[in-house]
Amino acid sequence: MDYLPLLIVVLVVALFVIMLWGSARSRREKQAAQQKRASAMGFRPLEEPPPELTSRIRQLRLSSQNRQLRLEQVYHRADFDQDFYLVDVVDGGDDQGNWLGPETLVVISPNLALPRFTLVSLPEMDQGGVAAEYAGKLLDSAFSWMAGTLGMERIRISSSDNFENRYVVFGRSQAAVEHLFSPSLTDYLMGVNLPLTVEGEGDLFASGLSYTSSRKRENQLQDLYREVIDLARVLKRGN
């Protein structure tokens, strides 16, 4: 009797089980590390994301049937009249426009009255060359996605000479977004050293780190939280 086919099957199954076990263990370790970071910042874990939070984020992203957006690993912290959430925003149906992602900080405050906008830090690159050309194509594709999916257009911010070298801004109302990006807000953002992604509307805004490796993102989470607190103050002053 030839046992070779059976042996191959057994080995394949064993390898598959080992991979699943390793993946589950890695996921548990990442979750434990994330909970430790969140606890250090005063956040407490929630078993389920609040329905209102899920609804608001989906509304912000105009999630549809082909975009399986969900919130995972949700943590909460209340600070006076503000609610801070630390969440993983998973958008399984769309890769191109996945601005929000792991460890996104969400702020809900009655003191905010924001027009619909998205701000994304531009990557630093040398002018010319293959890298710059490739990044330019990606940005053009992203601009088309923002316009087609979220119904927003690029808004030119003229209150700072160098602002558009650092950031790109989208919105649904040119006048409202221009009013929001006052000199005080653009001056603040020009002093930020993190690669930010910010989306906001009404009494909510969400912020994460763009084009950052997982390890670097973990190390920068404390810095992001401090920036989000300051940004909330600046946005409230500007309204």
* 80 and 144 share one domain: yes
What is the rounded distance in angstroms from the CA atom of residue 172 to the CA atom of residue 102?
26
Q: Which amino acid is at 137?
A: K
Q: Tell me, yes or no, whether 123 and 141 share the same domain.
A: yes
Q: Using alpha carbons, select from 83, 172, 98, 174 the residue that is nearest to residue 141.
A: 98
Residues 84, 70 share a domain: yes
Residues 6 or more apart in contact with residue 67 via CB below 8 angstroms: 61, 91, 92, 93, 94
Please tell me which residue, 68 or 110, carries the higher pLDDT value.
110
Residue 197, SS3? strand
Give me the sheet containing 196-202, strands edge to edge. 44-45, 69-79, 82-91, 104-108, 204-209, 196-202, 114-121, 167-171, 153-154
- Length of the chain, in residues: 239
**pLDDT confidence band for 18 (50 / 70 / 90):** low
Mean pLDDT over each residue of the chain, to the nearest integer: 78
Is the same domain home to 125 and 191?
Answer: yes
**Same domain flag for 78 and 30:** no
One domain, residues 23 and 53: no
Q: Which of 15-19, 53-57, 113-117, 144-148 has the lowest mean pLDDT?
A: 15-19
Phi–psi pair at 158, nearest 5 degrees: -105, 0
DSSP class of 206: E
Q: Residue 62: give the domain boundaries.
A: 44-237
Same domain, yes or no: 26 and 121: no
Residues 78 and 56 in one domain: yes
What are 170-217's pLDDT values in tens digits?
A: 998 999 999 999 888 999 999 999 888 899 999 999 998 876 666 677
Residue listed under structure tokens 């330019």: 136
- Count of structural domains within the chain: 2
- Judgement on whether residues 63 and 102 belong to the same structural domain of the protein: yes
Side chain identity at 209, as an amino acid letter? L
* pLDDT average, residue stretch 226-237: 88
Same domain, 7 and 54: no
Write out pLDDT tens, residues 98-107. 567 778 899 9
d(CA 165, CA 155): 13
Q: Residue 129: pLDDT above 80?
A: no
Are 58 and 9 within one domain? no
* pLDDT digits 0-9 by tens, 64-78: 445 567 888 899 999
Q: How far is CA 137 from CA 131, 140, 143, 169, 201, in A?
A: 10, 5, 10, 17, 28
Q: Give residue 231's pLDDT.
A: 93
Q: Using CA of residue 4, residue 9, residue 10, residue 11, what is the dihedral sign?
A: positive
Query: How much is the pLDDT for 188?
Result: 93
Examine the domain organization and report whether 52 and 113 are in the same domain: yes
| pTM of the complete model | 0.76
Residue 100 is given by DSSP the state: S
